């Protein structure tokens, strides 16, 4: 696996679930990927999935809007200036 995940988290998942470390690494990778998805990527992905199920846009948009409020998304990339404004704002 090319990406590195926090080994303390991998060990914690392995210990708390009884999973082998390789499986725990995959679980951490899956969860990390899930939370890294941006709003834009989620909307595009879900739209494509629902279109493949022959859904119409007038059904798709309300469903995606309802799903958005239940999801967490990765943070946007912030510049140094934006970070300073958060702190000193």
Quick: pLDDT tens for 52-64: 999 999 999 999 9
Whether 23 maps to a domain, the answer reads yes
Same domain, 31 and 47: no
pLDDT of 77 reads 83
- The range of the structural domain enclosing residue 50 comes to 43-68
Residue 45 has pLDDT above 60, yes or no: yes
What is the rounded distance in angstroms from the CA atom of residue 28 to the CA atom of residue 49?
24
Whether 81 maps to a domain, the answer reads no
What is the rounded distance in angstroms from the CA atom of residue 75 to the CA atom of residue 39?
10
Q: CB of 22 within 8 A of CB of 40? A: no
Whether 49 maps to a domain, the answer reads yes
Higher confidence at residue 57 or residue 36? 57
Whether 82 maps to a domain, the answer reads no
Please tell me the total count of domains within the chain. Answer: 2
Q: Whole-model pTM?
A: 0.68
CA-CA-CA-CA torsion sign (84, 85, 87, 89):
positive
pLDDT of 1 reads 42
């Amino acid at each position: 696996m090319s990406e590195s995940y926090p080994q303390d988290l991998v060990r914690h998942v392995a210990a708390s679930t009884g999973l082998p470390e390789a499986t725990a690494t995959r679980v951490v990778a899956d969860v990390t990927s899930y939370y890294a998805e941006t709003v834009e990527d989620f909307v595009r992905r879900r739209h494509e999935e629902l279109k493949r199920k022959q859904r119409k846009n007038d059904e798709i948009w309300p469903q995606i809007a309802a799903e958005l409020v239940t999801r967490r998304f990765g943070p946007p990339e912030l510049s140094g200036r934006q970070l300073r404004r958060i702190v000193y704002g």
